[in-house]
Structure 1
Amino acid sequence: MTSTLRTSAESAVEQRVPPSMVERLTLILDLFERPHTHQTLEDVTRRTRLPRSTAHRILDQLVRLRWLDHTTSGYRLGKRALGLGGREIGQNALRSAAAPVLHDLAIRTELVVHLAVLVDTEVYYLDKVGGRSAVEVPSRVGGRAPAHCTALGKAMLAWLPVERVETEYGNAVRRTARSIADPGVLHQELDRIRRRRGLAFERGECFPTVGCVGIALRGRDGPVGAISLVGDVQSPLERVAPLLIQAAHAISTELATIADVPRQPRPDLAIAQQSWPNEPVAQLLAVGGDWL
């Protein structure tokens, strides 16, 4: 009797499983609703009702063909899938989450604010806020700059695997006389950024007259973007660094609500900012570096 019941149950499952490979692939890929959505093998098996061995085999094939990436948090969309429009969707979500925070930051500091993502070895500017003063900063939405020459880029590079930085920036070129071109010096700079818990500074490394302080927006598997405050090369950017940290925390809180779960009401930014008291920030800024 038990054997008969098991056979009946297995037959019922098999009848629910789509017969074609294309349908099975579609079932799995439909689970990844957003660029930052993660699914484990157990999630895929439960939600598609595919046999575990079948789901695992298809996931392996999708990873091998770069439709998916396999991370410590599970599977997510890979480069090939993102190239079909997922990257733009992710960037729009990031811009949407960051927009009110960036405008508030620009008003409070009276400085230009940037939002960017890392694309290959460059930063790609998604937003630029700052009113009339923004005209004086030689950057534009949709423009790019070498990542190793900007505070935005260095803030994101600090959280990438050392091997990747070594491979992609081993032959970095100078943008200005102050740009970092030596791999050893770059690694030292990224280590300082990590010890400051992500704060990156640059003065005259990308544009001779411009100084910036930046911080990455970090997801479960690495940086998803970065924000920065921009002034002239002599600006005392250390003074506004606490506000930048608060803004990054507020954006990250908002991103967490839209990455893998249904959208929730926007968090109270004032409450989010209170979780970054000035005393720990002062301790972060005490870490030495050439920018002091």
Structure 2
Amino acid sequence: MSGNLSTPGASVTSRAFAVLGAFDVDHRELSLTELASRAGLPLPTAHRLARELVGLGALERREDRYAIGRRLWDLGLLAPVQFELRQVAAPFLQDLYGATGATVHLGERDGGQVLYLDRLSGNASVPVVSRIGGRLPLHATGVGKVLLAWAPEDVQRQVLASLTRVTPYTITQPGRLREQLRRVRREGYAQTVEEMSQGACSVAVPIRASAAGDVVAALGLVVPDLSRGRARLVSALQVAAAGIGRSLRVSLSGSER
């Protein structure tokens, strides 16, 4: 965060957002000292704002540490596209789970990461690190690769310039990943093999919410192995994604009237 937030000219709103912005997927709980440092605020200011945000439900106090409060997630779900998408997708996610027994993911792109809007846990014992409201790298997840494949060129360049290794199988060679993204666009689905967590494979497809084919989200499954049954999983995903896309178009067009 910018250090100028500690100056008298910085607004209360900007300082409050600095406190909230101090949290990320790698910093889900922070002490007051850590919170002040990451927000670029004096300790007394961070303490006052944190106390007020706890009172409003935007933060939670856990002994001597702070975490994002449920109220923020509830508000985030009211964003029109996310709210409509989760509402519309829910029955299709349930059907997909019933047909496959696998962990089901619904995600959208948030900058250079995938934001998980919904998740249904599968029957198989597969290590899954995602959580609703959490973010993971685009390049190491099935839904992330789908979203990256249809992301603007500047987003692709940014992601390809900083490919981090999550497991020994994570693809960190820009040329190899770019070729994968071309194949994703050509074949209409993406897959990963132990790239986010060892012992877990994923397959995902795009969700399109307009006649022009704009990709607004991705739908994915996590399974122990893709050596058999991949075609069946892709087919089930594509049917569900097409249904979500159609229903979303109807829902959004109705809300605009």
Same fold (TM over 0.5): yes
- 2:128 maps to 1:137: yes
Residues 146, 184 of structure 2: 8 Å contact kept:
yes
Structure-2 residue corresponding to 1:261: 254
Structure-2 residue corresponding to 1:230: 222
Structure 1 residues 235 and 112, CA gap change in structure 2 (3 angstroms): farther
Q: Shift in Å at residue 130 of structure 1?
A: 3.5
Structure 1 residues 86 and 234, CA gap change in structure 2 (3 angstroms): closer
The separation in 2 between residues aligned to 1:109 and 1:117, in whole angstroms, is: 22
The separation in 1 between residues aligned to 2:135 and 2:227, in whole angstroms, is: 23
Q: Structure 1: which amino acid aligns with 2:191?
A: F
Larger Rg: 1
Q: Structure 2: which amino acid aligns with 1:183?
A: P
Q: Shift in Å at residue 238 of structure 1?
A: 2.9
Q: What does the per-residue CA deviation read over 1:128-157, in whole Å, with 9 as the maximum and x for residues that have no partner?
A: 113554885332212221011111011111
Residues 116, 127 of structure 1: 8 Å contact kept:
yes
Residues 127, 199 of structure 2: 8 Å contact kept:
no
Which of 138, 148, 153 is 1:147 aligned to? 138
Give secondary structure in 1 for the equivalent of 2:181.
helix
The separation in 2 between residues aligned to 1:102 and 1:88, in whole angstroms, is: 20
Structure 1 residues 260 and 112, CA gap change in structure 2 (3 angstroms): same
Residues 204, 233 of structure 1: 8 Å contact kept:
no
Structure 1 residues 155 and 87, CA gap change in structure 2 (3 angstroms): farther
| Mapping for residues 207-226 of structure 1, pairs under 5 Å | 207-220=197-210, 222-226=214-218
What residue ranges of structure 2 are gaps of 5+ in the alignment? 1-74
The separation in 2 between residues aligned to 1:88 and 1:235, in whole angstroms, is: 39
Q: Structure 2: which amino acid aligns with 1:208?
A: Q
Q: Structure 2: which amino acid aligns with 1:120?
A: G
Structure-1 residue corresponding to 2:196: 206
Structure-2 residue corresponding to 1:41: none
TM-score scaled by length of structure 1: 0.56
Give secondary structure in 2 for the equivalent of 1:178.
coil
Structure 1 residues 239 and 132, CA gap change in structure 2 (3 angstroms): closer
The separation in 1 between residues aligned to 2:90 and 2:242, in whole angstroms, is: 14
| Mapping for residues 56-67 of structure 1, pairs under 5 Å | none
Give the share of equivalent positions with the same residue, in percent.
Answer: 34
Structure 1 residues 147 and 87, CA gap change in structure 2 (3 angstroms): farther
Paired residues in the alignment total: 180
The separation in 1 between residues aligned to 2:77 and 2:130, in whole angstroms, is: 25
Query: Higher mean Cα deviation, 245-254 or 163-172?
Result: 163-172
TM-score scaled by length of structure 2: 0.63
Residues 201, 226 of structure 2: 8 Å contact kept:
yes
The separation in 2 between residues aligned to 1:204 and 1:260, in whole angstroms, is: 39
Q: Structure 1: which amino acid aligns with 2:245?
A: S
Structure-1 residue corresponding to 2:235: 242
The separation in 1 between residues aligned to 2:113 and 2:127, in whole angstroms, is: 22
The separation in 2 between residues aligned to 1:103 and 1:214, in whole angstroms, is: 16
Structure 1 residues 191 and 257, CA gap change in structure 2 (3 angstroms): same
Residues 215, 228 of structure 1: 8 Å contact kept:
yes
Residues 106, 113 of structure 1: 8 Å contact kept:
yes
Residues 215, 245 of structure 1: 8 Å contact kept:
yes
